Amino acid sequence: MFQAKKIEGVGKPEFYADLARQLAALLEGECDAVANAANCSALLFQMMPDLNWAGFYFLRAPGELVVGPFQGQPACVRIPVGRGVCGAAVAERRSMLVEDVHAFPGHIACDAASRSELVVPLRAGDRILGVLDLDSPLPARFDADDQAGVEALAAILVAATDFGPQFVRG
């Protein structure tokens, strides 16, 4: 049985290095996309402080994200590429670090408690499979260290996982 180990008393780079090792151990020997995305969202939600939502949106048709495994409140199901923070991350092919979601034009509120958000693309080479989306009830919860750390976690997930033909590459 996998047991997540608390990470305490370290700075963010060390925190994410430890979390990356735990994620790699959690996914070892399994390549199923739903299973790995589900366990990844559960690990992040358990280990990262001050989150109210952690999960995935996948490109399931060209131009459309569909919610995948997540932890948190039920969320909106379909997001067109270019809409909201998640859709912007795919359209602009980059991570979106939003300190104040109320100041982001077109932000889609799935949980009224959310104040800040980090969205990281899932990259397969130069194509995008979807996004990893983290929400926090705290304003400015995420900084550049979080972005770098979560981008590394997303890369571990993609490397460990077989995203079959039902996942569109944008």
| Selected binder of ligand SME within 108, 113, 148, 160 (CB under 6 A) | 108
Binding segment (CB under 6 A) for ligand SME, from list 10-18, 108-116, 144-152, 158-166: 108-116
CB of 13 to ligand SME, least distance (A): 26
- Going from the C-alpha of 2 to that of each of 5, 43, 150, the distances in angstroms are 9, 10, 21
| Selected binder of ligand SME within 51, 81, 110, 153 (CB under 6 A) | 110
Alpha carbon distance 5, 153 (integer Å)? 16
Q: Rule CB under 6 A: is residue 75 a binding residue for ligand SME? A: yes
Q: Rule CB under 6 A: is residue 113 a binding residue for ligand SME? A: no
Q: Is residue 123 helix, strand or coil?
A: strand
| Selected binder of ligand SME within 15, 43, 47, 53 (CB under 6 A) | 53
Q: Which of residues 116-135 bind ligand SME (CB under 6 A)?
A: 117, 133, 135
Strand order in the sheet with 64-72: 78-80, 64-72, 53-61, 127-136, 116-124, 96-98
Q: Rule CB under 6 A: is residue 138 a binding residue for ligand SME? A: no
Is 64 or 133 the residue whose CB approaches ligand SME more closely? 133
Q: Are 35 and 2 in contact (CB under 8 A)?
A: no
Q: Rule CB under 6 A: is residue 66 a binding residue for ligand SME? A: no
**What is the gyration radius of the CA atoms in the chain, in angstroms?**
15
Alpha carbon distance 87, 18 (integer Å)? 30
Is 105 or 165 the residue whose CB approaches ligand SME more closely? 105
